[in-house]
Amino acid sequence: MSSLTFAKWKLPGADLHGESSLPPIAGMINVQQQTKTMLDEDDGLFVGYGFVGSPFPYRLQDMYDRELKDTEMLTAVLENDHLKAVFIPSLGGRLWSLIDKDKGRELTFSNPVFRPGNLAFRNAWFSGGVEWNCGVVGHHPYTCSPLFTAKLTADDGTPVLRMYEFERIRRAVYQMDFFLPDQSKLLFCRMRIVNPNTEVVPMYWWSNIAVPEIKDGRIVMSTNETYTNRGGMISKTTVPVSNGIDITYPVNNPHAIDFFWKVSDQARKYVCQLNGEGYGLIQTSTSRLKGRKLFVWGQGPGGEKWQEFLSADGTGGKYAEIQAGLARTQYECLPMPPKTAWEWMEAYGAMNAKGSNVHGDWEIAKREVEEKLNHMISEQDLESLLVKTKETIALKPAEELIVTGSGWGALENLRREA
């Protein structure tokens, strides 16, 4: 049976101590606001579009400390016979943990503590799990804030976890519906962004998935080319080998770097990290979510220090991030038409592939993963599920509100009616 439960959970955590009392008018530095490029005329990236210079009207979350003490948080847990997904509504809806019950293994890097650092749009950010970033470039405004959280039931009886909020800079609404059908080996995440405005707005979305850094882990996705930033210039390089290094193995990359895999419009949209045995987490989506990325901290002392700084003392906290986004890179937003809804479906689960194929020739590795993924769920079936659940899930009203969000959306509705 599939279930949705809410329960208090204790873990070692630092205190956010609320928000700054001062408006953030001094501007900010964002490493992704890079506009120098060496690209081809058919790449078609919206480089520089949608950047903002300040978190205003949000206030900074820069009052936190580093002292770890017993902290109680509300969790929302979706569970069936194969998977257990644990969400934290008060922390931007973060998917904190995804457990493969068949093997008793955690699929994400699930941080043993909550310990923020200065890495997000409003300063406070923490590592681990799956983060849902909407609106503006960077770790989103609600990453350390509560989302409206509710529950409902799909037409077929499947319990649904809903989280939503109003993004104040874009003046847009995003809604996330999570469900785990009986006997499903995939967690489904049905996403919806609505631009209710009468003008085009720049829109950004990236799902950031932390996976443990492992020596034999390989990232597989459908591409032979990637965008990256080297020497202050956005350019392209080859996959899997670039400058003599197989960059699809996170541990091979000596320095912190982003790789935005150039996945063609016709290719299957997925990304995974698989170990030497061919086992690990895979994420796939419908076609709207066309971007895929790898971020690594590198193997130097700076990257290692940051990862340890964000986790429990002495644990290392080492991870890599595989990501999925609306645009091809994070140097851009996409123009979202007025009075429009953008929707897509994501799916997360455990892949069991043949290790020798995954870690052999690149074309064989891609073919192995895609064949196994098609057995889990075909591209057409995922697209059909997106269409089917618009009426049976996305447009259905919630049955019970569990957590209250910011309330700025209600104020915006009153403003528009005035």
pLDDT tens-digit series, residues 154-202: 999 999 999 999 999 999 999 999 999 999 999 999 999 999 999 999 9
CA quadruple 239, 241, 245, 246: dihedral sign: positive
pLDDT tens-digit series, residues 251-281: 999 999 999 999 999 999 999 999 999 999 9
Q: How many CA atoms lie within 13 A of 37 on its CB side?
A: 17
Phi, psi of 166 (to 5 degrees): -105, 120
pLDDT, position 314: 85
Local structure of 251: helix, strand or coil: helix
Q: What does the DSSP assignment read for 12-50?
A: EE-------SS---S----TT----B---TTS---BTTT
pLDDT tens-digit series, residues 16-52: 999 999 988 877 766 666 678 999 999 999 999 999 9
pLDDT tens-digit series, residues 279-308: 999 999 999 999 999 999 999 999 999 999
Q: In this model, does residue 315 exceed pLDDT 90?
A: no
Domains of the chain: 3-417 (2.70.98.10)
